Structure 1
Amino acid sequence: MTLKNTTCCLLMVFTLMSASPVESQEMDKMWGESIVKLRADDAERGQLFADGNYAMFIHWGIYSQLANEVDGKTYYGIGEWIMNPRMAGIPIPRYRELAKTFNPVKFDAMAIAQLAKDAGMKYIIITAKHHDGFAMYHSQANKFNIGDASPIKLDPMKELAAACQKLGLGFGFYYSHNQDWTFPGGNNGPTKDAQGNPATFDDYFQKKCLPQVKEITSEYGPIVLVWFDTPGNMPKKYVQELVDVVRENQPKALVSGRAGHNLGDYQSLGDMEVPHQNVEGLWEAVDTTNDSWGYAWYDENWKTPEEILHRLIACVARGGTYMLNIGPRGDGSVPERAAVSLRSSGEWIKRYPQVVYGTDASPWQHALPWGDVTVKGNQMFLSVFEWPSGGQLYLPGLQTKIRSARLLAGDDANPIQFDTAGTWTRFTLPECAPDELVSVIEVNLQGKPEADPTWGLDPEVATEIQAEFASVSNAVQKKKRWMEKFGEWKHVIEVTDWPTGDDATTGKASWEIDVVVPGDYQVDLSYAGEGRLVWGVAIDGGQSIQNQQNASHIYQNFPIGWLNFPAAGRYTVSASCLDGNVETGSLKSITFTPIHKE
């Protein structure tokens, strides 16, 4: 699913730390990311997506058997792209031969469905056909499928559909509708047929794509979603025809935003992208349990249960849905460490389902230093990831009066004391967090929660504020994406293109902040660049500091110094790149850490 040669789908590779506006536009087009829609008009059709908020993605195919190793050589990157010339460049005849050895004898549909249920997920989306053109079901439209080209005798998609239905999970398919690397006429595929005649995209669409989409939407019972991917330059008429098929065969199913041409039902963000600000409308973030989507033998960089919960709650608190991928091995088994993390985070969700399901976005519109907030009616749920060691948790800018607050611990709930200081609310907490992963405070309000989204400097824990929240003058604020490994996407909104020379001090990224406890705060900047850079940070009408630090092409935190806020209240703080290789400076965030002197 993606736009460049990267995650589930990509097409163009960006060099590390470089993404021009033109490239970003091309990526958005490939991913179909321009889709922005409000919640589905048909509440029943969109309800599972909008209220479930958590789903399982599965990337599984011939590439899973290769596991990123071909002829004794390991290729580092996303496994489902192993055939592509940007990785191993496996010729089509050889790739077809590999299908004959693809025999997933350990595939257990019920075990996978049970894992999703144990994880707290509400539906499963699995690759019916990825860019390699190999269908993971018994397709009558094309013989390059798991039933005809592989020794396995079962249709794993039928088994998984049945298992999901039995366990009360939704079920749906991923289908690469534009790219097909093995069928003549498919995007990035052969340009001639077996007889040497020129092949067109229409040949691929009429002979394979359209018939297969008809199959997956009519032969596997009710499905909740069809996840098309990387539309690229696919003409609108073809996308419309596929969407019409889904509407006819599965009227209750959603269509992913990556169908293209604004014909999807919701927006799908970039691969591995979890937003920092609330996003309007119906949307999802797609992520994976390690670094690759398809199984890679070496990839043991698993997300911990806490990291899974952090990213899930961040998506829900921003108003969206989180779909998290697993990549089964070639034999069909699920890597054990991925399963352990999913089940552990799922146990937490069972204890606190009200935090995740059927909730609304945070009224702060961004995370808070200690965690995040989800909303249900007149209740707020504070998910505390950073337990304050001083026993005081601060909530800035809440404008709705509180009736009561309770600290939840599974089935137990203990009232906690709170008071106010100006626009801030302070909760008194026990010394130790009651939950090992994430502790939850339930706040009951007198009405719908409303909050001032101005960033507050927390007096207990560090407050990191992203550059995307800054007001920028005489510099450029823009989105950048890059890959640390092939297909492993990183996303940031940076402030860059700083002025030089005599104009250097005119370039500013500024944030309005609210201080409840005056005093000294350590200031760090997270930035990338080349060589030495001099940065300045100043309080409007107050203290200013500057420091020279080294730079790296990878974002790192660098200390700048201490700033003093002499009294409680509102301040404007700005950061500027003043000297050195200014043209390379890319600011990601600013962090304020309270200095405790006693």
Structure 2
Amino acid sequence: MDGVPESWSFYTGQVSHEQYTKQLDGFTASRYDPRAWADLFARAGARYAVLAARHHDGVALWDSAHGDLNVVRRTPAERDLIAGYADALRERGLRVGLYYSHSDWNHPDYASTRHPAPAPAPAPDEDPPNPLAHARPGEEDPAAWARFLAYRDGQVGELVDRFRPDLLWFDGEWERTEEQWGLHALAARILAGHPETVLNARMLSHGDYATPEQGVPLQAPDGPWELCLTVNDSWGFQHRDHNHKSVRRLVRYFTETIGAGGNLLLDVGPREDGTITAEQAERLTGLGAWIGRHAEAVYVTVAGLPPGHHYGPSALSADRRALYLFCFDPPRETVSVRGLRNRVRRVSVLGTGAELGHRVTGGLHEVPGVTWLDAPAAGDADEYATVLAVELDGELDLYRGTGRS
């Protein structure tokens, strides 16, 4: 609310702890409408959403029996904010995700142990390890750390038992080891009653998928993954941050992500009254409208062609018999695909259905020629990204060699 980053601003000393905590007095959630949120997320084309149930500052969005730092007891909102969210998402057929940080820089027992890896000595102009996160050498307190883990485990147990999330999105794991966090026992607790719960990689070896942030990785992580991206430059609401990504740029991020086999988790920061800004809502609905026109290339597809076969990202149908080429600029004359051994049965523009001609030139022995697809007419090109659907005569078969020697 004061235009400072959530949690990090008091951790780094940007503002005092007192000033940061005083923001609780202005948190009303007076216009919070989880059904409106769910409607917006559905229009954005989402299949799941993740709500930050507790960040590193320790403020919980539900009435927890473990500690009293929550919006029910310490803010004018005076109510649980998670149950309605979970119910509204499920009414719209969306999966329910909850974010929870292992770390808690407000908890009196948190800074009672340290990561055992030897830390390099701070440079002369650097501060020592933050006392909100780490015990000073020789002042570790195992009993206090055990109390903290009981608090953390108790809160996670409440989230699991009360709200039955489909996904738990953990954070803050970098400050301790897997053994210190007690992640084996925590994962067992979560999965005991809800074995289908998905856990992100910040549960370390118990995680199901990777979570790079703020930039499409040049090399996709092994296995399932998700890009976490903000609509502007901030994770939470900041009234001075008007640097919103355009719908066109979000479409580009989105197609580059799904083209490499990932999901996009797009972050918006609601105001203290629970409303999402018009600028951010416009971006979500704009992206959702593009997805709606091209759903065939988005849902139930897998990573597409490796780099070098097409100038842009692409995706494959689950049976690998349809190739979807994303073209950010309106195609001119032709679009090429290299190394395609398959015969092309049909090419069309997704969203309009316009059929396009195609031909192959060149090729020698085992080296296939270049497949050329005619560019669509100007009226069939999409405002943000045109998608060409290429039907193949079988599963995708690519040539990856160096040419005839």
Q: Report the TM-score when normalising by structure 2.
A: 0.85
Q: Does 1:184 align with 2:108?
A: yes
Task: Show CA shifts across 1:429-475 (max 9, x none).
Answer: 23425221221211110111133468xxxxxxxxxxxxxxxxxxxxx
The one-letter amino acid paired with 2:324 is: F
- Aligned equivalents of 1:400, 1:449: Cα separation in 2: 7
Which residue pairs with 2:202 in the alignment? 258
**Which SS does the other structure have where 1:214 is aligned?**
helix
Mapped contact 2:356–2:376 kept (Cα < 8 A): no
- Aligned equivalents of 1:436, 1:337: Cα separation in 2: 19
Mapped contact 1:363–1:453 kept (Cα < 8 A): no
Residue 241 of structure 1, CA deviation: 1.7
Instruction: Report the CA distance shift for 1:453/1:294 in structure 2 as closer, same or farther (over 3 A).
Output: farther
Task: Show CA shifts across 1:224-257 (max 9, x none).
Answer: 1111113122342611121112102322111110
- Aligned equivalents of 1:231, 1:304: Cα separation in 2: 32
Mapped contact 2:109–2:147 kept (Cα < 8 A): yes
The one-letter amino acid paired with 1:383 is: F
Mapped contact 1:278–1:361 kept (Cα < 8 A): no
In the alignment, structure 1 segments of 5+ residues that lack a partner are 1-64, 69-77, 455-511, 513-568, 572-598
Mapped contact 2:342–2:394 kept (Cα < 8 A): yes
- Aligned equivalents of 1:330, 1:367: Cα separation in 2: 47
- Aligned equivalents of 1:340, 1:402: Cα separation in 2: 38
Task: Show CA shifts across 1:196-223 (max 9, x none).
Answer: 99673222111x2111000000101x31
Residue 97 of structure 1, CA deviation: 3.9
Q: Does 1:115 align with 2:58?
A: no
1:130-149 alignment, distance < 5 Å: 130-149=55-74
1:53-132 alignment, distance < 5 Å: 65-68=1-4, 78-88=5-15, 90-91=16-17, 93-132=18-57
Mapped contact 1:317–1:373 kept (Cα < 8 A): yes
Which residue pairs with 1:285 in the alignment? 227
**Which SS does the other structure have where 1:313 is aligned?**
helix
Which residue pairs with 2:272 in the alignment? 330
Q: Does 1:245 align with 2:192?
A: no
Which residue pairs with 1:434 in the alignment? 381
The one-letter amino acid paired with 1:83 is: F
Residue identity over aligned pairs, in percent, reads: 27
Task: Show CA shifts across 1:16-46 (max 9, x none).
Answer: xxxxxxxxxxxxxxxxxxxxxxxxxxxxxxx
Instruction: Report the CA distance shift for 1:80/1:340 in structure 2 as closer, same or farther (over 3 A).
Output: farther
**Which SS does the other structure have where 1:148 is aligned?**
helix
Match of 1:417 among 351, 357, 367: 357
The one-letter amino acid paired with 1:276 is: L
Mapped contact 1:268–1:283 kept (Cα < 8 A): yes
Residue 66 of structure 1, CA deviation: 2.4
In the alignment, structure 2 segments of 5+ residues that lack a partner are 112-129, 363-368
- The structure with more strand, counted as a fraction of residues: 1
The one-letter amino acid paired with 1:66 is: D
Q: Report the TM-score when normalising by structure 1.
A: 0.59
Point out 4+ residue stretches in structure 1 off by more than 4 angstroms: 196-199
Which residue pairs with 1:153 in the alignment? 78
Residue 139 of structure 1, CA deviation: 1.0
Mapped contact 1:276–1:367 kept (Cα < 8 A): no
Which residue pairs with 2:341 in the alignment? 399
Residue 87 of structure 1, CA deviation: 2.9
**Which SS does the other structure have where 2:149 is aligned?**
helix
Mapped contact 2:309–2:338 kept (Cα < 8 A): no
- Aligned equivalents of 2:338, 2:96: Cα separation in 1: 41
- Aligned equivalents of 2:238, 2:404: Cα separation in 1: 50
Mapped contact 1:293–1:326 kept (Cα < 8 A): yes
The one-letter amino acid paired with 2:77 is: I
Instruction: Report the CA distance shift for 1:445/1:267 in structure 2 as closer, same or farther (over 3 A).
Output: same
Instruction: Report the CA distance shift for 1:185/1:445 in structure 2 as closer, same or farther (over 3 A).
Output: same
**Which SS does the other structure have where 1:143 is aligned?**
coil
